[in-house]
Structure formats: structure tokens, C-alpha cells
Structure 1
Amino acid sequence: MAYSNQAYVEHVAVRVRDIQWYINFFYEVLGMDVREIDGPVDAPNQYWTIGGMQLMSTPGFEAPPSNDAGWLAHLGIMVADLDGALNAAQRWGVKELPQGRNWLQLPDGLAIELIQARGNSVAEALAVNPRA
């Protein structure tokens, strides 16, 4: 079975130190393509994906410790192919968290939980245009 890198979140805005790393990770691992860009394409101020991520470039950003209330606990992301997404994520040097192999910590402390979707639910969710 070919890896189907599709996922859906609508939408979460996060501050990130290295916006280009996040753009590449969410595109290459989860298939979240660009919906909108604020600023120059090669160094955007903000970047929105189809699938619900809003990345906000904040070069000096320092995330509070993971046990601090107020910091985003984690993103739950439905994926069409969990094993494929986990294999693709390994190349990015992300850290597996104690909760399980599908829990990953990205740079700046952002944690994501990748969840295997049933059937064609991810493709069906992505086909919906809530802004139409």
C-alpha cells in the first residue's frame, strides 16, 4: 500500500522560531499544502495550510516548559496512513514522546498526536470547503 500523506485540522495557529522548517515538515510528512501566505514566499510572516495549520514566524520565540499551563498541550491530527506518516517523520529528527510511537515532539516543544483515520474520512474532510 502506498503511503497517503493526508491529514486534517481546522485550524490552529502556532508561533514558531523557524517557519520554513515547519512549512516543509507539515507539507512533506502530512501533505498539508499552502492555502495562504502573508509576506514574501521565501520568508513568510504567516503561512496557512490546507488542513488547518497557521504558522506564525516568531524568530525569537521560546516555548514555555511543557508542564506550563497555557502552552498548547498537543495537536491531534487524523492521518490516512499512520505507519507511513511515522516513517516520513523519522527523517525530520522529531522526538518520540512517552505516550506512544504516534506522539511526536517537534522543534519549539510542539507535540503532535498522529491518529489513524478510518476509511476515506481524511480525504472526505479535505474535500469540504468551509470557506466556500
Structure 2
Amino acid sequence: MSAPLACLDHAAFHVRDIAFHIAFFRDVLGMTVTKLDGDPDDPKQAWLLGGIQLIRDAEFTGPEGRFGHLGIICQDLPATIAAAEAYGAVATAKGPHWLLLPDGLLLELMAQKGDAVRIIRSVDPRA
């Protein structure tokens, strides 16, 4: 059996000062905001072009715990969930597509739109 295909959509991180991080990624790396959650002047979360999700957490004192989760786009979501469960992943209270791996890594699995996984995996950014 071949493994279901998937690709990384985003990596989520907890940050104390979300405005600073939005400005940093925009000004230094050209990663503009694609989506905000909450007040645009003080959002709870921000998603940036390039695969970064920022989660405002004023109480964060890190560095441990800064990582939130990996968001992964799946070509066949039900098959990917089943394959992950066979490896011991368990669904969380957020839903069956939020899976916690045995070592604590949290995954958010999402269904692709169109032929996104094949298109993204066909690009080698280091080529």
C-alpha cells in the first residue's frame, strides 16, 4: 500500500507580541498576512504567506512550548487520518482531523482543494 500524499501548509508558533512578529516577517521576509483572527489592530492569530501561523500568547515565557502545531494539507484526508491512527495518533477535542502523536507532536490535517498536493510537491524550492 502506498502512503497518502500530503504537504506542509503551515507551522504555528506562540508569540508574546504578535504585531512585532507580523511586521518582522513582512518587512524582513516579505511574508504578508493572508488571514487574521480577531481585531485587525490586535489579532489573536495571523496566517502569513509562506506557511507561518502566529498565535498571540501574552503569557508565553518560552522557549519551551513555543511551537503550536503543524498544519498539513492531505490529498486523501480520511486515508491520512487512518494511516496516522495506525501509528498511534489520537484525535483531540478539536476534532478528528486534529491528531496528537505519541510523543506529543500536534498535527492539524486538512483536505486539499483541487490538485494542491500534487502541484506543491512538484515544486523543488532548492532546485
Root mean square deviation of aligned Cα: 2.8
1:80 aligns with 2:75: yes
Q: Which one has a bigger Cα radius of gyration?
A: 2
**Paired AA for residue 92 in structure 2:** L
Does the C-alpha gap of structure 1 residues 80 and 3 become closer, same or farther in structure 2, counting only changes over 3 Å? farther
Distance apart, 1:112 and its partner CA? 0.1
Letter in 1 for 2:80: A
Give the aligned partner of residue 9 of structure 1.
Answer: 8
| Corresponding residue pairs, total | 77
Q: 2: distance between equivalents of 1:11 and 1:77?
A: 7
* 2:126 paired residue number: 131
What residue in structure 2 maps to residue 96 of structure 1? Answer: 91
Q: TM-score, normalised by structure 2?
A: 0.52
Contact 2:100 2:106 in 1 (8 A): yes
Is the partner of 1:84 in helix, strand or coil? helix
Report the Cα distance in structure 1 between the residues aligned to 2:124 and 2:84, rounded to whole angstroms: 27
Runs of 5+ unmatched residues, structure 1: 13-66
Counterpart for residue 20 of structure 1:
none
Tell me the CA shift for residue 10 of structure 1: 7.6
Structure 1 residues 11, 129: CA separation in 2 closer, same or farther (over 3 Å shift)? Answer: farther
